[in-house]
Amino acid sequence: MNELDSEIIAGILTKRGLSETTDETLADLLIFNTCSIRDLAERKVMGKLGKLGRQKKRDRIIGVTGCMANAKKEAIFQKLPHVDFILGTNNIHDLNCLLDEVILTGAQSIRTDEEFTQELDYIAAKRQDKSKAYVSIIRGCDKYCTYCVVPYTRGPEVSRTPQSILEECRELVAQGYKEISLLGQNVNSYGKDKPEWKYLFHDLLYEIDKIEGLNRVRFLTSHPVDISRELMGAIRDLPSLCEQVHFPLQAGSNRILKKMHRLYTKEEYFEKVALLKELVPDVALGTDIIVGFPTETDEEFEETYEAMRQVRYATSFLYTYSPRKGTPAMRWVDDIPESIKAERHQRLLDLHREISSELMAEKLGQEVEVLVEKRSKDGNYLRGLTRCWRHVLFEGADSCIGSIQTVKLTGYSHQTWMGQMGKASIETL
């Protein structure tokens, strides 16, 4: 979501006539699009901003956008008086106004609305990638997991109209994009805040699938409680929808899940995973897991470990618990020592590596569909992405970049496949 917001901000600034520089010392305007999800992310930005403040003063504008803007508000000005403006996650549309204000008056400015109310210029987003694009379908979150700052920094759920989403998807396909990732904190909530539309997430997927020339659709992320049978059916039936689902477990113990306010039990979660695997046998599952949540015992951690072993996730984002100001979990002492959090985290990382190697070994010799993205860093290979969200390196001509090819999987190293482009694909080039 932050990446897309950065692309939208870059789009607004490009329309204004600014050009991008990768050399920070040359910039007249520096914007930090921040994340508040864990303390480390915030400390990095504060450190970097602090350093800028200690440098020799020069005539440039510094802005803070993203979740930290909403989480810290004016406190940023108090700590970092050289910051010129603060623009919250729900105020990206105000960027030009705010810049004008800062330039005209030289005074510090701030906008941090609680709720997202105004449509953004998505079409103008300055996208980094030429074949894959993010499309925002719902902003905010109403789930209020007890550890999470997102409902406070991004506000309540607000679905974007289907017309606007479909229009953007069609425009992207016309521009040559082959893959679209639909974005939201919880995409499965799509439409629930607008009951009068009578239009839910799977309805949107069925319409997007009809867009000619769009090869792939993914979505992230989805809350397990809202992963419905209809959605699973859509993954099975719609040719464009990739067989990959981020299905964030967070913890394997029912007591911890309840304390996290995740709204499902381990058993309910397993039942949904079993149904999805039955309907879409080739599905690649992903997860987010937090270790060291307040009061998590060794036995409860073992339940998370076992759940990971049982589900066999292809991708895992593993976190150690980080207390966030303003969240309900701040009521509880962060009682798990950092050393134990680190140990649990490492054990899950090791398990993930083991499982992902097994999953990769099982697929050796198979042919997969690859979206060719670019040349590898060393220049020797083409690099592409499978429908299941794995990278593949293989030999081929630059003319393949941006196209979909069939590649036979011949080996793997860490999380990346090695492959060989199918003979038929080479002949049609």
Give residues in contact with ligand SAH (CB under 6 A): 37-38, 147-148, 150, 185-186, 221, 223, 248, 250, 288, 290, 319, 321-322, 324
Residues 122-161 that bind ligand SF4 (CB under 6 A): 141, 143-145, 148, 150-151
Q: Which is nearer to ligand SF4, 131 or 185 (CB)?
A: 185
From ligand SF4, ligand SAH, none, interface partner of 152 (C-beta below 5 to 8 A by class): none
370 to each of 123, 175, 178, 400, how far by Cα in Å?
A: 26, 19, 11, 11
- Residue 287's H or E segment, with its range, is strand 284-291
280 vs 103, 200, 216, 236, 241, CA distance in Å? Answer: 55, 21, 16, 6, 11
- Closest approach of ligand SF4 to the CB of residue 235, in Å: 20
Whichever of 185 and 405 has its CB closer to ligand SF4, that residue is 185
Judged by CB under 6 A, which of 34, 185, 215, 253 binds ligand SF4? 185
Smallest separation (angstroms) from ligand SAH to the CB of 137: 13
Nearer to ligand SF4, 42 or 179 (CB): 42
Instruction: Report the residue number, 32 or 152, with the smaller CB distance to ligand SAH.
Output: 152
Inter-CA distances, 46 with 34, 40, 317, Å: 10, 10, 24
DSSP SS3 for 257: helix
Of 80 and 260, CB closest to ligand SAH? 260
Smallest gap from residue 262 Cβ to ligand SF4 (A): 8
Q: By Cβ distance, which residue is nearest to ligand SAH?
A: 288
Q: Identify the residue whose tokens are 């990959």.
A: 244
Least distance to ligand SF4 from the beta carbon of 399, Å? Answer: 41
Q: How far is the CB of 120 from ligand SAH (least distance, A)?
A: 20
Q: Which residues of 224-247 are buried (b: 16+ CB within 10 A; e: fewer)?
A: bbbbeeebbebbeebebbbbbbbb
319 binds, among ligand SAH, ligand SF4, none (CB under 5 to 8 A by kind): ligand SAH
Residue whose CB is less far from ligand SAH, 147 or 201: 147
Surface-to-core class of residue 103, CB atoms within 10 Å of its CB (0-12 exposed, 13-18 middle, 19+ buried) = exposed
Task: Report the alpha-carbon distance of residue 321 to residue 39 in Å, rounded.
Answer: 10
Q: For residues 36 and 425, which CB has a smaller minimum distance to ligand SF4 in the complex?
A: 36
Q: Do 180 and 214 form a contact (C-beta atoms < 8 A)?
A: yes
Whether 217 and 180 have beta carbons less than 8 Å apart is answered as: yes
* Residue 302, φ and ψ in degrees, nearest 5: -60, -30
Which among ligand SAH, ligand SF4, none contacts residue 144 (Cβ within 5 to 8 A by kind)? ligand SF4
Kindly state the smallest distance separating residue 226's Cβ from ligand SAH, in Å. Answer: 10
Interface residue with ligand SF4, options 131, 186, 287, 322 (CB under 6 A): 186
- Give just the sign of the alpha carbon dihedral 167, 169, 175, 176: negative
Site for ligand SF4 in 192-251 (CB under 6 A): 223
- Class of residue 30 by CB neighbours under 10 A (exposed 0-12, middle 13-18, buried 19+): middle
Give the shortest CB-17-to-ligand SAH separation in angstroms: 35
Residue 151 contact, options ligand SAH, ligand SF4, none, Cβ 5-8 Å cut-off depending on partner type: ligand SF4
**Nearest to ligand SF4 of 93, 223 (CB atom):** 223
Residue 404 phi, psi (nearest 5)? -100, 130
- Asked if 155 and 90 touch (Cβ cutoff 8 Å), the reply is yes
Minimum distance from residue 181 beta carbon to ligand SF4 (Å): 16
Per DSSP, the residues of 195-253 read GGG---HHHHHHHHHTSTT--EEEEE---GGG--HHHHHHHHH-TTB-SEEE---B-S-
- Which helix or strand (DSSP H or E) is residue 361 part of? helix 338-363
The binder of 322, among ligand SAH, ligand SF4, none, by C-beta within 5 to 8 A per type, is ligand SAH
Least distance (Å) between residue 186 CB and ligand SF4? 5
Residues that bind ligand SF4 (CB under 6 A): 141, 143-145, 148, 150-151, 185-186, 223
